[in-house]
Amino acid sequence: MKIRDRIKELRRVKAAELRPHPKNWRMHPKAQQDALRGVLAEVGYADALLARELPDGSLELIDGHLRAETTPEQEVPVLIVDLNDDEAAKLLAVHDPLAAMAETDRDVLADLLAEVDSDNEAIQNLLGDMLAAPAFPFNEQTNGDPPPEVAIPGAFQVVVECRDESEQQSVYERMTGEGFKCRLLTL
């Protein structure tokens, strides 16, 4: 199989100049933000952000949104790739989940964690949670058997975009008043 190298160059760019991808679906809880700040403070940048060049010359992030947000004034390493809109969307969708499918060798992880030390509370919490966390669902089955089949019932839903919270509340009240089962969602 011939695999294309889509990396055009490594460029150092002020993080604030990078445009977030409009379809970035990842959210970053405070604990992750704090742990990233701790790692950046203790180690620094040791991985490049991933972006593509748009026709106007600006750079659109595919991976590294939190790092860019965390250090907007920092010049950061960015791998520039030559992906079109569809390819960028595909990579944005699968980049993190693909990495998350890696299995954990708990003995090797325990040995590694025994060697890692940090004075940063957020990093200490992250390290402490790593062995305590259940295995990622793709990784390990408790008895080696495949997971049981799960019947997922069909669901038909409508998403209504509202101008503001007041309109959202009004639509919610109207729909629930008509007997529809509704949930409020803010993105």
DSSP H or E run through 69: helix 65-70
Task: Establish how many alpha carbons lie within 13 A of residue 56's alpha carbon, considering only the half-sphere containing its beta carbon.
Answer: 5
pLDDT (tens place) for every residue of the chain, 187 residues total: 899 999 999 999 999 999 999 999 999 999 999 999 999 999 999 999 999 999 999 999 999 999 999 999 999 999 999 999 999 999 999 999 998 898 888 888 888 888 888 889 998 888 888 877 665 444 444 455 666 676 666 667 788 888 888 888 888 888 888 888 877 776 6
Residue count of the chain, please give it. 187
CB 59 within 8 A of CB 13: yes
Helix/strand/coil percentages in the chain, nearest 5: 40, 15, 45
For tokens 């445009």, name the residue: 19
DSSP H or E run through 70: helix 65-70
Taking each helix axis from N to C end, the angle separating 121-132 and 106-115, rounded to the nearest 10 degrees, works out to: 160
Domains of the chain: 7-100 (3.90.1530.10), 155-187 (no CATH)
CA 21 from centroid of its chain's CA atoms? 12
- Rounded Cα gap, residues 46 and 67, in angstroms: 11
Please give the model's pTM, rounded to 2 decimal places: 0.67
Taking each helix axis from N to C end, the angle separating 121-132 and 30-42, rounded to the nearest 10 degrees, works out to: 120
- Closest to 91 (Cα-Cα) out of 180, 3, 155, 23: 23
- Rounded Cα gap, residues 2 and 78, in angstroms: 25
